[in-house]
Structure formats: structure tokens, C-alpha cells
Amino acid sequence: MSAGSGIVVVGSINADLVVTAHRHPRPGETVAGRSMTVLPGGKGANQAVAAALLGAEVTLIGAVGSDAYADVALSVLTTAGVDLRPVQRTAGATGIAVIQVADDGENTIVVLPGANAGMTPGLVKASAGAIREAAVVVVQGELPADATAAAIRLAAGRVIVNLAPVIAVDAAALLRADPLVVNEHEGALVLAHLGGPTSVDHGAVVEGLLGLGFASVVMTLGDAGALVAERGVLHRVPAPQVTAVDTTGAGDAFVGALAARLTAGEPLRDAVRFAVRVGSSTVQRPGAQPSYPTSADELPALPEGPSA
């Protein structure tokens, strides 16, 4: 990778055990499932695949175990052309996500971190050269907080922090995000974690995060699109109207697409518009990585009218 080019994703790598059912069970209830499929996943891996399929040069830093799930977890990354040389092969289990998808496309997820939990600052620093040379570094919340903070501190380029799930990353490191990418629930949690004002209004949460020192904030709102704010200005991007089949990994596709466009030098608002279209495309097909579009695929159009 040449200096100041490409994307480095530092994040989780999982195998997804996807179970489909008519609806999600209530507490204490048993429902009949229809199928189970084992697919590659993990937020870091998903974001790396999404960016690579859209034409970006991507390197992934993470870890898998020594079990049979490791090859599954790496399969689409390999075919998408992601550089996997920094991925550690450790003794023990690969990360697993147990995902239940209901007929309305909504999902529930239980994650067993496996090898992801063993990512230390030392293992991240072993790839310091790649991180420093990246135009964009992407991190999430599925690795230990100290490893995530180490990756942010090593970055010389732009840093995208998708704090999902919300973990207690060092505030000084976290504030290097440009942008911070969160959904509405995560945004409120980050704001509270950093001592900001409590609010249930999406715009107020985004403005509160900007007030704490973030250079830019992107809040994803599912089928309502996204909010994007930088330099004190807030814009709304509506989402295309599509029929959702499976929302698994749509947020990761959004982040990967955002990283790809920012790496290419596109302004944040335009990159968010593109990422919303990519996220809307993925929910129309089952699975996470298998649903991601390539640069040759036609994406659903944004609705006409006021937007970013």
C-alpha cells in the first residue's frame, strides 16, 4: 500500500449462524425456525468486504481461531480481494454471531467474540506501518477498547469510528473520529458516556456530539436514511423506499461504502448519500456479506425532494 492510500479496517471477524423464523420469540417462548445458514460476518470483516467490492484497496487487521469456522469467516474477504496478511490465526475459537431473522427483515444478534477478544494493542501495533500509511482507518466496537484506541492513535489519515456496540474507548482517541458513525441508540449512549446532555431527539444528539468536539457525525436511521453533520451544519439524507428482506449487516455496508467514497476524496455529504443507497440495496437480499453490491451493480435511487 502506498503512503496515504487505501483503507485499513481494524475489527472483528466472525462466522454468522443465521436462523430464519416467522417472528422473534417472546421471553420464555419457543418458536419453530425454518432454516440455518453459516455465513461470513463480523463488523470489521463486513465493512472491509463492502469497501473492497466497491473498488477500494482494503487491508483487514484482526484475528480468527483454529476451528472450522475460520475458513468460512475469511471466504468472502478472500474473493473480494481484501489483503488478509495482518490477520492473526490464534488457538481456540473463531468469533461467532448467532443471528435470528424474522419475516419482516428485523434481526436479533448474540455475539461470542472468540479470537476477537484476544486482539491486544500489541497485535494492533504489529501492523503499525499499514495503519499509518492508510488514507482512511476504520474501527468499530467489537474488539477490546484498548486495541481499538491503539489503532486510532496509530492512524495518520482520516479515522472513521463506528462505535457499534458502544464500548468505553478512551475519550481523547474517540474524539479523533471524522466522522463518528452511530445509529440513534448508539449516538445517545456515546453522548452520555462522554458526559453530554441527555436527549431523545436525533438532531439534538448529533449536535450534542459535535459540541463535545467531534469533527463530524453521521447517524444512521434505518429506513429513514441518515443525518450528517460537520462544521456545525446538520443535513438529512432520506433513504430509498425498498422492501426489506434481511437487515443484517446493512449498517456495515453503509460504513464500508462511506469509507470507499471518502478514500476517493468525495465530500462527506456526498459519501453519505452514496452509503445510504448501498445500505438500502443490501436489505433486499438475505445475509450480510453475500448481499453487498459491487461497483457494477445498480443501486436504488434516493427519493426526490429536500435532502443532503
Position 207 pLDDT exceeds 50: yes
Q: Is 35 a member of any domain?
A: no
Catalytic residue chosen out of the listed positions 16, 83, 178, 252: 252
When pLDDT is averaged across residues 72-95 and rounded to a whole number, the result is 97
Per-residue model confidence (pLDDT) at position 304: 77
Q: CA angle at residue 276 from 253 to 166, to 5 degrees?
A: 60
Number of CB atoms found within 10 A of residue 258's CB: 32
- The domain in which residue 258 lies consists of 7-13+41-93+114-291
Q: Is 125 a member of any domain?
A: yes
Structurally, the chain folds into a number of domains equal to 1
Q: Is 71 a member of any domain?
A: yes
How far is Cα 251 from Cα 260, in angstroms, rounded to an integer?
A: 14
When pLDDT is averaged across residues 239-258 and rounded to a whole number, the result is 93
pLDDT tens column, 126-148: 999 999 999 999 999 999 999 99
- Residues 6 or more apart whose Cβ sits within 8 Å of residue 251: 162, 164, 183, 220, 279
Q: Are strands 58-61 and 88-89 parallel, antiparallel or unpaired?
A: unpaired
Per-residue model confidence (pLDDT) at position 1: 38
Contact 271, 304 (CB under 8 A): no
Element (H, E) at 268: helix 268-282
Amino acid at 112: L
Max CA distance (Å), the chain: 55
SS3 38: strand
Q: Is 273 a member of any domain?
A: yes
Per-residue model confidence (pLDDT) at position 3: 45
Q: Of 136 and 111, which is predicted with more confidence?
A: 136
Instruction: Assign residue 158 the CATH number of its domain.
Output: 3.40.1190.20
Q: Is 173 a member of any domain?
A: yes
Q: Is the backbone peptide bond immediately before 165 cis, with ω within 30 degrees of 0?
A: yes
Is the pTM for the entire model greater than 0.85?
Answer: yes
When pLDDT is averaged across residues 272-293 and rounded to a whole number, the result is 94
Average pLDDT in the chain: 94
Q: Is 1 a member of any domain?
A: no
How far is Cα 176 from Cα 214, in angstroms, rounded to an integer?
A: 7
Q: Is 297 a member of any domain?
A: no
Q: Clarify whether 83 is annotated catalytic.
A: no
When pLDDT is averaged across residues 139-158 and rounded to a whole number, the result is 97
Position 286 pLDDT exceeds 60: yes
pLDDT tens column, 10-55: 999 999 999 999 999 999 999 999 999 999 999 999 999 999 999 9
